[in-house]
Amino acid sequence: MRILVVHGPNLNMLGTREPGVYGSLTLAEINAALVSLAGELGAEVTLFQSNSESALIDAIHSAAASCDGILINPAAYTHTSVALRDAIAAVALPTVEVHLSNIHAREEFRARSFIAPVALGQVSGFGLESYLLGFRAIFNHIKKGL
């Protein structure tokens, strides 16, 4: 089983970007934790981060031929990108949306997700645990369907 993990814009700045909101964990540390969990579960993980909406869409499109599911933190594109939503719908891979912070407890505009309607579910507000819980959820969903 192979799962694509997609990190959206500005997540490359984790560790220094608004630590009061996002904590001090870096993207490299999140990726290491995901690789470790994937190994424990017997899954493969492909990691991708971009600040470019088109690059994120291309990665999602490519996943259709090589992955069984997607774990995505669309970051700011959560609230603005119909194109990312459409890419996820187009590839028809099971997808789980994750966020480090609780997007529903922040600014009003962050509460709306264009991704949620095409995802199996959303995990937010638990920092690194959001990613790990989301990874386990997508893994278990795919495992049941295989």
Residue among 7, 77, 99, 131 flagged as catalytic: 99
pLDDT at 146: 61
Residue among 7, 22, 77, 131 flagged as catalytic: 22
Please say if 99 is a catalytic residue. Answer: yes
The torsion defined by the Cα of 71, 76, 79 and 84, in degrees rounded to 10, comes to -50
* Rounded average pLDDT over 58-79: 97
Confidence check: pLDDT of 73 > 80 = yes
Please say if 79 is a catalytic residue. Answer: no
Confidence check: pLDDT of 20 > 90 = no
Confidence check: pLDDT of 100 > 80 = yes
User: Could you read off the pLDDT of 120-129 as tens digits, one per residue?
Assistant: 999 999 999 9
Query: How many angstroms separate the Cα of 29 from the Cα of each of 1, 17, 35, 36, 113?
Result: 22, 15, 10, 11, 26
Q: Model-level pTM?
A: 0.93
CA-closest candidate to residue 73, choices 117, 11, 144: 11
